[in-house]
Structure 1
Amino acid sequence: MSKNDLDYMPGFGNDFETEALPGALPQGQNSPQKCAYGLYAEQLSGSPFTAPRGTNERSWLYRIRPSVRHTKRFKPFQLPLWKTAPQKLDAELPIGQLRWDPVPIPEEKTDFLHGVKTITTAGDVYTQVGMASHVYAFNASMEDDHFFNADAELLLVPEVGSLHIFTEMGKFDVAPGEIVVIPRGMVFKVSVEGPSRGYMCENYGAKFTLPDRGPIGANCLANPRDFKTPVAAFEQKDTPCRVIVKWCGNFYETEIPHSPLDVVAWHGNYTPYKYDLATYSPVGSILFDHPDPSIFTVLTAPSGEEGTANIDFVIFPPRWLVAEHTFRPPWYHRNIMSEFMGLIQGQYDAKEEGFVPGGMSLHNMMLPHGPDSGGFYKASNADLKPQKLDNTMAFMFETRFPQLLTDYAAKLETQQDNYIDCWEDLKSHFDGTPEGKWD
């Protein structure tokens, strides 16, 4: 039995239920004196017990062994290139607009955890605000290793290679063009069939949810029905395994004599989910002017200030451009938000050269940015017929906090030292006449 489609986003009070064996899920109560199949009942809470009904998140797991059972004390585990805010500012690179080519995929055997490299951090993990932007590049599966993040929920954005993710709640296959969100504290492992690369947002703050649509109304943007939760699946493996934990920026490991992915049934609303970005229904200008990029928000993690996000996850998908007498690409701007941007496929319309799939850019708060000179002149002189932007998918991890660069990112060989040259040919067209001097 399973309910695999989200009628509402997690955290809105809806309950899902799924079982891998018939009758494994209790009916009418959560913790019977003896569970079917000799299972243990365990609750995983993603919110305080007394949170309002609409934001109260918990799931009941019915598993072969409780997660408290492990054979050795936790000991430190080293992942030196996965950083956490607040971090010491050891990067010597001055502030500025930054862009990188794709990070190389390692040739040596590397699993997901060792393939994560932090580019920026923001906020403070101890007070549960802010985020970190990472890239990942790896080529090997986690066989007997498992991981959970006590600091944050994780948003993964594949760019090369599909991810096979086995969580306590079930399995996902996540291809480029899809995303997956794994809640804080949930155990999982990642398998691959070859080289894989992508991006990851680590959200220390309030959980991701759908943005309010406001005047847009009941439809468009990301629709709840397109978010998918997993069907229960379990691994009955009685051989030594390892659990690795991230907790307050540090990593620890412990050994257990069995697989921790042994949940036979579950019900609740604290669950991982995936989403196909191709199902996003964009809205835009149908007469004039380029709207704010916030109209492309897929998910938002709110802060304590209404309308100011801890994180917005924004995409720039295929879409029609039809605005009249309008500069259609994004305009030049300075912004209170800090923008980490990546490209999953194709070309980004505001950057004619240099921004390629797997690449990334960083435009921190109040630092000016916008179309390169080639994009500006092309858009300024284009015949404004309806135009379809196709074969493109860019995204932003956007936050209210400054995104501080890691030493790894500052010294990364793929950094484009000449990035700011892309605006060098933007010259003055002012000559005192309304028409200006265009040549």
Structure 2
Amino acid sequence: MKDEFKYLSGFGCEFASEDERCPGALPVGQNSPQKCPYGLYAEQLSGTAFTAPRSQNKRSWLYRIRPSVSHKPFEPLKNIGTRLTYNWTETAPNPNQLRWKPFDLPTRQDAEINFVEGLHTICGAGDFRVRQGIAIHVYLCNSSMKDEALYNADGDFLIVPQVGPLQITTEFGRIRVEPNEICVIQQGMRFSVIVFGPSRGYILEVFDNHFQLPDLGPIGANGLANPRDFQTPVAWYEERETEFKIINKFHGKLFVATQNHSPFDVVAWHGNYVPFKYDLDRFMVINSVSFDHCDPSIFTVLTCPTNKAGTAAADFVIFPPRWSVQEHTFRPPYYHRNCMSEFMGLIKGRYEAKEEGFQAGGASLHSIMTPHGPDSKCFELASTAKLQAERIADGTQAFMFETSYSMAVTEWAETTSLKLDKDYYRCWENLTKHFDPNNK
């Protein structure tokens, strides 16, 4: 693909793109002229209220062959997405430390399962009807979406591929997302997913707000995820007359409507409400060069804030390859209890605090105020190791979805998937008593 992506110059900025086959498709001087170039329709996609402050206002103008309103009525989509759920009371609360073995990939011998059919909800909290809460899913699929597109009326999807690349066609253009990259498809944006074999990944869905870069504070102007490294697609359209299914996730349920043309008929667009991707290798790690282990918030790539200052509906945090140089310090993550819920996944490699049991394609959940930390083997090694500058996490990419909401686990995740590790608690059993009041 030629010029598949444009780099964002910064979050909140205005971006514009037109398909090179139709030069001049973007109207000049106004958003909705009486007649758009090439006989296109002007359509606005709003991600915030019209009257949101300018610094927070999100909207894009799309110049398309037909407006998106041209479809038949929506009907419930039956027997599809049956593992997608927002019923947070279907299982009893479970405050234990939870860990899942890698979720099964569908094989080529299995029935064809596309991205929508392969959505499985692990946990979540809140209510999309009042725009408050999050959900965490995995996708397990082996087939591409054909003549169908999905859009999420409930919130934003942050997609983290773990096995297999995704080719995502959006109304704004095409995005290819590889493992160790992430992609954000914001509320209301129509998209279709092509896969190239059995594929697995994680999804963080937020209802409250939209993802943004965290403030840097004393760090200064540079560091963590730099705005210039985010990419958004260039405009690309297809003028294809065929029966197309539009799948709408609304109130946590799937609905479908048909139309007689492709929804990916946007010839040009401009605005600041766009899909985007990011390569996790471009994250600039900030770390301690003296003593003590930094709080994991120092590794935040994106945050979705609540109305409470400093408290996130969700943070997307990574633990990338880096140097560890702290002196007189227990270097791995410290034991702690937290007023946030922590869901961890592993894209590749071996996570340094639990090298044996935590596997790529699996996950863990440490709920609000549930204690957790490194396993006993990690503790013993880190407590006696000779401290010198060393590389850690090479070949590894662990991540965390952290949230201020108390998460409920679904029946599929706790029972049906058969992936819950019943012996997870044993990794702390060998933490022995070292206390000796006579030996300072």
What residue in structure 1 maps to residue 124 of structure 2? 121
1:394 and 2:395 correspond: no
In 1, the alpha carbon distance for the partners of 2:43 and 2:128 equals 26
Deviations 1:222-263 (A, max 9, x none): 000000011001121101010000111121100000111110
| Aligned-partner residue type, residue 252 of structure 2 | G
In 2, the alpha carbon distance for the partners of 1:90 and 1:265 equals 45
Question: Which segment drifts farther, 406-415 or 362-371?
Answer: 406-415
1:179-328 equivalences under 5 Å are 179-328=182-331
User: How far off is 1:403 after superposition?
Assistant: 0.9
Unpaired segments ≥5 residues, structure 1: none
User: How far off is 1:122 after superposition?
Assistant: 1.2
1:18-167 equivalences under 5 Å are 18-20=17-19, 21-70=22-71, 72-78=72-78, 79-84=81-86, 87-92=87-92, 94-106=94-106, 107-167=110-170
Change (3 A) 1:322 1:42: same
Report if aligned partners of 1:290, 1:329 keep a CA contact under 8 Å in 2.
Answer: yes
Report if aligned partners of 1:161, 1:194 keep a CA contact under 8 Å in 2.
Answer: yes
In 2, the alpha carbon distance for the partners of 1:194 and 1:22 equals 36
What residue in structure 2 maps to residue 422 of structure 1? 427
Report if aligned partners of 1:2, 1:17 keep a CA contact under 8 Å in 2.
Answer: no
In 1, the alpha carbon distance for the partners of 2:390 and 2:111 equals 44
Percent identical: 54
User: How far off is 1:349 after superposition?
Assistant: 0.8
* RMSD (Å), alpha carbons: 1.2
User: How far off is 1:434 after superposition?
Assistant: 3.7
| Aligned-partner residue type, residue 406 of structure 1 | T
Report if aligned partners of 2:170, 2:189 keep a CA contact under 8 Å in 1.
Answer: yes
Which of the numbers 334, 337, 341 marks the counterpart of 2:337? Answer: 334
What residue in structure 2 maps to residue 16 of structure 1? 15
In 1, the alpha carbon distance for the partners of 2:368 and 2:131 equals 21
In 2, the alpha carbon distance for the partners of 1:352 and 1:176 equals 20
User: How far off is 1:352 after superposition?
Assistant: 2.3
* TM-score (structure 1 length as normaliser): 0.96
User: How far off is 1:341 after superposition?
Assistant: 0.5
In 1, the alpha carbon distance for the partners of 2:4 and 2:252 equals 36
| Aligned-partner residue type, residue 240 of structure 1 | E
**Count, aligned residues:** 429
Report if aligned partners of 2:338, 2:370 keep a CA contact under 8 Å in 1.
Answer: yes
Deviations 1:362-406 (A, max 9, x none): 000000000001111111111111110111110111110111000
In 2, the alpha carbon distance for the partners of 1:420 and 1:319 equals 29
User: How far off is 1:302 after superposition?
Assistant: 0.4
Report if aligned partners of 2:4, 2:174 keep a CA contact under 8 Å in 1.
Answer: no
Structure 1 stretches of 4+ moved >4 Å: none
Change (3 A) 1:397 1:2: closer
Report if aligned partners of 1:92, 1:410 keep a CA contact under 8 Å in 2.
Answer: no
1:376 aligned counterpart, secondary structure: helix
User: How far off is 1:94 after superposition?
Assistant: 3.2
1:405 and 2:420 correspond: no
User: How far off is 1:3 after superposition?
Assistant: 8.2
User: How far off is 1:433 after superposition?
Assistant: 2.6
Unpaired segments ≥5 residues, structure 2: none
* TM-score (structure 2 length as normaliser): 0.96
In 2, the alpha carbon distance for the partners of 1:88 and 1:122 equals 7
1:41 aligned counterpart, secondary structure: strand
User: How far off is 1:164 after superposition?
Assistant: 0.2
2:116 aligned counterpart, secondary structure: helix
What residue in structure 1 maps to residue 349 of structure 2? 346
Deviations 1:208-232 (A, max 9, x none): 1000011100011000000001100
2:318 aligned counterpart, secondary structure: strand
